[in-house]
Structure 1
Amino acid sequence: MLKTTIGKLRFAGYFEGISLLVLLFIAMPMKYWFGMPEAVRIVGSIHGALFITYCVIIAYVTLKTRWNLTWPILSVIVAFIPFGNFILDKKLHQLEKVHG
């Protein structure tokens, strides 16, 4: 997966997507149901760093592969949707097979 430019984006997308799910489905309930705001603070910080890294990798892949604006815009949008990165990953995997 890390051998291709698109593979690097897929890899980053996995971690960004997982961090969003942990934030939404573990840290937020811990904050609101169990009164542990530090869970959101910690997981939110990690998710923020992963999101910024993901955006930098999107820019890198866009420049390296000379994508039009469709893929980078779609890649950013799905980062805000739970499970969005995993759905996009299927399309990127097909694209990776074609373009290498």
Structure 2
Amino acid sequence: MTTLSPKRLFRGLAFAEAVTWTILIVAMILKYAAGVEWAVLVGGSIHGFVFLAYAASSILVGVNQRWSVGRIAFAVLTAIVPYATIPFELHLVRSGRLEGEWRREATEHPADGAWWNRVLRWFLARPVLLVSVAVVAIAAIFGGLLVLGPPGGWQS
């Protein structure tokens, strides 16, 4: 069984984020041009969940690949601009910033002693737990955001 590399995870979610932008835009057109009120609720929910998954993967992959905090933050911010995750992902591929496997073992690199790298290695040694915690955390954040309501509030 092959494992999901950091590159494949990030690329997949960057693409999914762009696809969900299309779903949201089509939903907005349906709402405002054809009066299909529920379209934005469905499209926005799909987009919001994938946005959170992309943000989580940006943090996970960014720490694994030893990106700077600024690069990780920028990766998350690219999901706010429609389709921006695709050119950013292509830039990361071209610059080699997605190369390599998951860092399950400590190396001589000075950053490997940092607490966040120890936590990363601990979770990577337990992939089922990592995925479970990620899914529960994303679902909890998503649920909390649903309670708060959509950006701009509920409109009819």
Which TM bucket (shorter chain)? 0.7 to 0.9
Task: Verify: 1:85 aligned to 2:85, yes or no.
Answer: yes
CA RMSD of aligned residues (A): 1.9
* More contact order relative to length (CA 8 Å, sep ≥ 6): 1
In structure 2, how many angstroms separate the alpha carbons of the residues matched to 1:97 and 1:88? 11
In structure 1, how many angstroms separate the alpha carbons of the residues matched to 2:30 and 2:6? 37
Q: TM-score, normalised by structure 1?
A: 0.85
Q: TM-score, normalised by structure 2?
A: 0.57
Q: How many aligned residue pairs are there?
A: 98
Runs of 4+ aligned structure 1 residues displaced above 6 Å come to none
Unaligned runs of 5+ in 1: none
Task: Verify: 1:21 aligned to 2:22, yes or no.
Answer: yes
Q: Closer, same or farther in 2 for the Cα pair 1:83/1:94, shift >3 Å?
A: same
Q: Which structure has the greater CA radius of gyration?
A: 2
Task: Verify: 1:43 aligned to 2:43, yes or no.
Answer: yes
What's the CA shift string for 1:36-73, capped at 9, x where partnerless? 11111111111111111111111111221221123212
Unaligned runs of 5+ in 2: 101-156
Percent identity reads 26
- How many angstroms does 1:97 deviate by? 7.2
Higher relative helix content: 1
Q: Which amino acid aligns with 2:17?
A: E
Provide the residue aligned with 1:73 in structure 2: 73
Kept in 2, the 8 Å contact 1:6–1:92? The answer is no
